[in-house]
A and B are shown apart, each in its own frame.
Chain A
Amino acid sequence: MTPHILTRSLDRAATTFILIVAGLGVLIPLSNLLMPQGSMFQVPTYLVALWGKYVCYAILALSIDLIWGYCGILSLGHGAFFALGGYAMGMYLMRQIGSRGVYGNPILPDFMVFLNYPKLPWYWHGFDMFWFAALMVLLVPGLLAFCFGWLAFRSRVTGVYLSIITQAMTYALLLAFFRNDFGFGGNNGLTDFKDILGFNVQADGTRAALFLLSCAALIIAFVICRAIVTSKLGKVLIAVRDAESRTRFLGYRVESYKLFVFTLSACMAGVAGALYVPQVGIINPSEFAPGNSIEAVIWVAVGGRGTLVGAALGAVVVNYAKTFFTSGPLAPYWLFMLGALFILVTLLLPKGIVGTFNAWWEPWKTRRTTGLAADEESAAREDGIGAPNPAE
């Protein structure tokens, strides 16, 4: 009997991860709101926002791991989908400012008044409604990824070529969004947000709710990814990763599988960006910088490519380290450390933290409980990167 897809996909590690995220998602906001100011149990608001940012990065990392770790598509432009989701949310937040802007224009955001826009550009219409913006958060990155992937996968652009053109894509978007006449605030981007759904963005309660929402989104994204990679579809994806041509010769439409995960992953990145913007309070074109996308890839590599928990963990660990080091006296050395991290992880820790841990833990566990059920073992194998890809 095959168990239900959800229960089957959640092994012990996955359940633990979900419980930890859920616990943090509830406890941190509660401690921030209920404990008295200055108490040692009170999490300051700035930390709530900071950790909210990490959680959004974790969702982005999950989306990258889904395509890179399980399907072998290394996208160096995922930051673009993240930023597009962020811009969609930013546009909603800009429209919510209404007449409270510096120029007091009820329709046009400040930067449009400043740049002498006669009226709202057509693509800004509808963003005053939350449901529309939320739809666009999914639709815009998804559509871009669909078109891009449809073109790229159909003509069998693979490996590093795909990586390079995804990088070119985000670079082109970076240049476009820097332009003032593109209608997205140019260099300064969108900022000065006031309300989200009628709640003040700056208020402690809103921040706590956003944090909770981000954790919920992380859990949902995790469960979706987990369901995909443990399903039959996931098996085909891994086959595509390890031997694309062989999979094609076996009769699978490789490009359809790739297109599906690529688009899904872009939507997830868009959601991450949309949750990121109200917590950070700004979105500007620098989010499109190719360096950002590559940095997101290294989070996955650090945590463990092909392990979903690892991707989320890597995002939090690397970003925590970034916050820690760039705010201290070691700030000038952060780029050395980040660079060294790229080199050392690829050279010495190719499976990442979680992958390496699994490689140690699993044989030991198997020895202890010999005769364990076969599906546990196969789950462990899926988590690793597997043998080096001969086709690459």
Chain B
Amino acid sequence: MGPRLKLFFPLILFAMLAITLFRGLSLDPSEMPSALIDQPFPPFSLPSVNTGKSLSQADIEGQVSLVNVWATWCVACRAEHPYLRQLAQSGIPLIGLNYKDQDADAQRWLEELGDPYRFNIADHDGTLGLDLGVYGAPETYLVDAAGVIRYRHVGVVNEGVWNTILQPLYQELIVHSGAQ
């Protein structure tokens, strides 16, 4: 390294540091990949919110579906709800996981705001939530036809999230399961 080049060393160091820190600005530390990606949906036996009928992981298998973790105490879930109804109308199978909630509150919510879910699992104590690694509602899991978790989205599902992240993965899984 010549003596003239050596003079540029602080500038180069600064540029590297600036790039690293600038990248840090756009990283979201709360965005963590689920530990259950490519793992089977955890086994459970919980009642349905609407009918009280016992549900298990077998009820989720059979088709590619979205498992949406929601609760009536969750404000963001209310914001998310209209878009979920839209998704359900376009034929996407949605399964609700009513997380740490009261059945009566959940039933009222579904009556007032509409029910986009095929069925709702009542996880009163958050035990299934713990097995899934849920740390806050809303969260949405993409589960394939064999009942394997393929993706977890933390936060509200809206048109942007669906079009850019979830739909491509969903289509891929549909094609994949159709080929088998």
A joins B in a complex: no
Give B contacts to A, CB under 8 Å.
Answer: none
